[in-house]
Each structure stands twice: as structure tokens, then as C-alpha cells.
Structure 1
């Protein structure tokens, strides 16, 4: 799960100014070039996007994702209450097992994608996208029963360490994390501070995401980058890594007009929930699952060396616009431009050749299976 800046109506929660992360001064001292993102000053790069991308693929990168919303949701019937808003099977989810899900509107459109983890029978930990977190909170407060309490964990930062050497390096500081498997989480301790860590991330690589008390995060970040495998990595490489991994970016590849089936996120529709058809937009979503959606998110390999960016048109032989590119860029690990686009279902099969139009120039592209780079999640620990 990742996110992108967006403009919202004032819902009573929206920040009125660009905010700073707990690690703001630390990023600047490390040479981070800061940009506005999701209402915060955030580092887009340190030594360069290409170098940071490849370092993460080969070693381990430290990402500050503290702009994202960390929520603690409590109540005797919290799991059942949340099931009314999303298609995940939460009531029977194992403790400390993270699940990806989607906050849906009444038409089945995606309001946000998120991660949730049951920490106790009456408590769910949830991470939502930074650009939508205030809207998400407002939506949940409106729709959850009064006996469910939602707290934003604004006194906590969120760090991710990603890459094939990530867990080995983190385990030197936090012994025991190496025993976690993909999407498993647990409580840990570092220097007297409580941490919540899950073996997850949004790069396609192995790694962990760690909720850290804000008061301790600078010392913890410094201890992490003191490990020879770990370097700080900015938003630019985070985006190119998730694109290679075929992972959608909210606000680009996902929005309230797109359903889970159109987005090729059918795995998020759990069997029990499909059979009960008791989540928002179920009739539409299940009909699309049965009959196929009008359009579908696909991966594209673009001919040549020039990247095709978000907003480019997908056109048919007659020049009619039939789809749109939602993410695109040069893929350092692939060595070629790649993109994601929504195309008609008839054009969604791998191997289909399509034409992309960007600023009046035509680009040939081929629909391909995603991910572009194989995922390297650790689903079992030896």
C-alpha cells in the first residue's frame, strides 16, 4: 500500500499547512531533498533515485512513511463493524496477521487501500494512506457504531526497511523479527521503547514496517543506518520500486470510480464475504467478477527508452481513446520503460499490443503480466 497527494474538501480534520515529520531535521541533515507530499515535507531523494532504487533491490533501504495514518480501532464488536465497510474477512482473522483491504463506497469504488492487523479480540491496528487519512477517519466515524472507538496514533512514526538484507540488518537491533513471515506482525522492544513490527512493505522486496514512538524515532533511524546494509531512501525510489512490483498507488491507479475487480485486486475479496455479499457495492463487484469488468488494470512494457507517464491515452487503431495510463516511468531493474493502464477487457490479455499517445507522440506497448520484477516475500522461515 502506497499513496499520493490529493486535494480534499475541509472535513474538519484536514491539515491547514504543510506539516513536518518527526524525522524532518534528520532527513535534511542526511542530504534529503525535501518536497511537499500528502501535506508533509518529505524526502524525494538523497543521492539519486536510480542509485537508491538499485541499492534497495540489492541491499536494504530505510523509508520514512510517517505521513501515513496509523489508527487503533477498539470495541467489543470492532471486527464485525469494520467488515461492514470493506471486503476483508476480519472477524475470523488470526491475531497478529496483517491483511490488505479496501475501504469501499456504496457503489463499490475504492476510497482507500489499507492494511489492518487484529492485535486483540477488541483491537485492530490499521495503516491508511497519508493523503486520504482524514477522509478515511471521517468516513469510518460516520459509519461505525458508537461503541467503536477510533484513535489516530499521532505520537508514533512509521518506518519501513526493505530489501533482501533488510530483516538480517534489523534483527541485529531487534532480535526476533527474523522469525516473522510475510504479513505476520508482533510487539517488540528496542532500548526500552515498544515497537509494533510487521514483515511487509510496498516494494515487492522482503522487509519490515515498524511503528515507533515519535520520541525515539531519530535515535532508532540513526541506529538503522549505522548498519552497513541500510541507507535512507526517498519517495522517488519508493515509487519506482512499487511500480516494478505491480502495486497500485492510491490517487493514481485507484480512486473512488474504480472497483476492486477493475483494479485486478480480486484477492482482497475474501471467500466468506463474497458468499455473503455483505460488503459495500457487493452486487456490482460480484457481477464484474462473474462477467468481467468493462476495463481492467494491466501492466505495459513500452518500446524504446522514453517513459510514458500518467495521463497518456491508450488509443485503438482508429485513433479513439479507449483507456488511460495511470502510472509510468523508467524501471531501473527492468532496464526499460513500464506503465500501468486501464484498458478495455478485450485488450487486457498479456501479449496484446496497444498504442499509447503522449503529447502527440505514439508509443507501442505490450500488455504483460505483473509484477514486472518478481516479489521476494518470505512466506516461510527455515
Structure 2
């Protein structure tokens, strides 16, 4: 167990980190991600409110559809990544990172006060619900026994309120942080142990901790806030332009738009890329060198890949190197 953002979190359970990683890829694993910040945004101006903070087009979402988005600051930096779901229950359901919980809640509260002073109808509720991620190719078969809704109709980034194995008040969202098919289940805290025991009664499900969660996301090329993206990184540099809605680009009405939009058309000085290396695994802050020994970037995350049987990493390099597949000393640069 380790301390993480004020929580005591499991690095691994009985099985090794590698065993948990591979089990997630081949069957499915349950991750306790209750440390994530869950928020409901109410009021007739809720979409306008959340869009004043993020780059995503929430207005265009269908009911019970969600999207990955980014909180940005006036300088175009990424304050956090989050998922926003437009529910048909009269609120937006927002999940953001535990490590940024205090910052995110303060940021939203400050904007809320500004909106209320201007006469807008919006309010926030911070949830106490637990959050369980069930991830892996066997997920649908395991969970279908416990829900009445047809999971074949629950498409990626869609969400539904439904009892799960008889537990009421659950929200099931088809998303995750592993690169596998999966769901995140928001469950009343008094029922989370019962839910976990029911899931673990299935032989295909095992518990997995932070170690497997990190290697799975890195193997899938997904960013970790604080490592691969932060307030000094713009969405363009981070190769996350796809999170910016087309309407939002045209309107230029999100924080930092005057910096971010010109970067979309012009080249930034650096860009996030994937890396494969030989020898010992490369870790955060390792410099990336060109063949002539010049430092052209820095690694932000790295680990051995249990599935690929080689070292994987990501980092930032000068943009002129970002579209090349070339040998950079011991690092092989994988294209965008």
C-alpha cells in the first residue's frame, strides 16, 4: 500500500504486477478507483458552465454520452483531464483525477460563484460514491449477468443508471484507462464491498492495483496527469487536439484558446511521442538524444511492457523529430 493524493492505495495484491497486467489483457480485473473526484453539475446553464472550463463540445453530446476533455488555463496549459457525461437525469456527471481533486474543485467553485453572480442557473454536488473499474475482454460476459440492460447497446463512452447485481443507485459507464474494453461503476459506498465480493466470485475476475494500472495505460499510450501532461503542456503539444470540439475551435471560447488554436495550424516546438528502448527501462526525466548526441527531448513515463516484451515509454521531442521512425541512441522513436 502507498499514499496517493491522501488515499491509501494498493500497488498490487496477492498476484504479481505482471500477472495482474496480463490477466487484465486476457480476462478482466477489478480496480478500486474510488479516489477519483466525482461531481454532478445541475441547472439549466450547466452545459455553458462546464464549457467555460474545458475544451470539449458538451452541447453536441447525446443523452448519456460522454467524452474525454481537458481543463485548460489562460496560457493554454492542461490543468487536468476529465470525463464529462451528459445524462438524461438533468445533470452532467464529471469524473476527474484524485491528484487534482483539490485544485479541480476550487477551480469549479470559483467559476460557479462567477456564474451565480451573473445570474446563471448552475450548481455543483461532489459525490461520496465509490468507483470500481472492471477492465478486460471478459468484462461484458461477467457484468451482463448482473444488469438488465443489454451491454451490447452500451457503446464506448456511453453511460446508464442501473442496478448491478441487485445494488441500486449504480451508474455504469463504458470507459477505462487500460486500453481494454471496460466499465467504471459508480456505486453507493455502503454497497461497494458487496459489489466487489460479487464480482470476485467469478473466476475470471481478479483484483489489480496501481502497478498494473500504470503499465496498462502506458502500454496503450494513454497519458498520466502530472507525468505526461500538466499546466506547462498544451493539448497540441500533447497530441490531444482531438479533444477540442470543432464548434469550440471556431468559437474560440475556451480558456487558452488564443494560444491553443494558432498552435493547431502552426507547429509547436515539441510534441508527445511513443518510444521503444533496449537495455534497462527508461524512466521519467531521462533525456532523449539525437544521433549526434544533442538533447532533443525528455521521457515522461516509461516501463517494461509485459505484452510486447520490450521497454515502452512516452515523452516530448522537438517537433521535427516527431514524425520520424529513427534510432536515437538506445531509443527507437515510434511515429505519432
Distance 1:120 1:138 in 2: 26
Query: Could you state the TM-score of these two structures normalised by the residue count of structure 2?
Result: 0.94
Alpha-carbon distance in structure 2 between the residues aligned to 1:316 and 1:275 = 38
Q: Call closer, same or farther: CA 1:212–1:121 in 2, change over 3 Å.
A: closer
Q: Residue 7 of structure 2 contacts residue 35 of structure 2 at CA under 8 Å; is this kept in 1?
A: yes
SS of the equivalent of 1:87 reads coil
Give the C-alpha shift of residue 120 in structure 1.
3.4
Q: Tell me how many residue pairs correspond in the alignment.
A: 327
The alpha-carbon deviation at position 134 of structure 1 amounts to 1.3
1:68-127 CA deviation, whole Å, 9 max, x = no partner?
Answer: 000011111110111111111112211100110000000110000000101137410000
Which residue in the other structure is 1:290 paired with?
265
Residue equivalent to 1:310: 284
- The corresponding residue for 1:343 is 317
Say which of 6, 19, 43 aligns to 2:10: 43
Match of 2:332 in 1: 366
Indicate the residue corresponding to 1:171 in structure 2. Answer: 144
Q: 1:169-209 CA distances to partner (integer Å, 9 max, x unpaired)?
A: 01112232513111111110132421100111010100111
8 Å CA contact 1:300–1:367 kept in 2: the answer is yes
Alignment of 1:1-382 (within 5 A): 34-46=1-13, 47-120=15-88, 122-144=90-112, 145-146=115-116, 147-154=121-128, 156-176=129-149, 178=151, 179-190=153-164, 191-304=166-279, 306-355=280-329, 364-369=330-335
Deviation digits for residues 222-279 of structure 1 (CA, Å, limit 9, x no counterpart) = 0001111110011100000000100000000010000001000111011111111111
Partners of 2:145 and 2:335 in 1: how far apart?
37
Q: Secondary structure at the match of 1:98?
A: strand
Cα-Cα RMSD: 1.3
In structure 2, C-alpha distance between the alignment counterparts of 1:81 and 1:222, rounded to whole Å: 39
Q: Distance in 2 between matches of 1:126 and 1:334?
A: 33
Structure 1 unmatched runs, 5+: 1-33, 356-363, 371-382
For 2:297 and 2:35, locate their aligned partners in 1 and report how far apart those are by CA, in whole Å: 32
Shift of 1:167: 1.4
* d(CA) in 2 for partners of 1:236, 1:91: 36
Q: CA separation in 2, counterparts of 1:316 and 1:296?
A: 15
Quote the offset at 1:322 in angstroms. Answer: 2.6
Alpha-carbon offset, residue 140 of structure 1:
1.2
| Aligned CA distance change for structure 1 residues 294 and 177 (closer, same or farther; 3 Å) | farther
Inter-partner Cα distance in structure 1 for 2:150 and 2:4: 30
TM-score where L is the length of structure 1: 0.83
SS at match of 1:342: strand
Q: Distance in 2 between matches of 1:337 and 1:38?
A: 28
C-alpha distance 121-159 of structure 1, shift in aligned 2 (>3 A) = closer
Q: Residues 270-325 of structure 1: CA distance to partner in whole angstroms, max 9, x if unpaired?
A: 11111111111112111111012110000001123x21011111123454433110
Distance 1:121 1:62, change over 3 A: closer
Contact 2:271 2:318 survives alignment (8 Å) = yes
Q: Structure 1: how far apart are the matches of 2:92 and 2:327?
A: 44
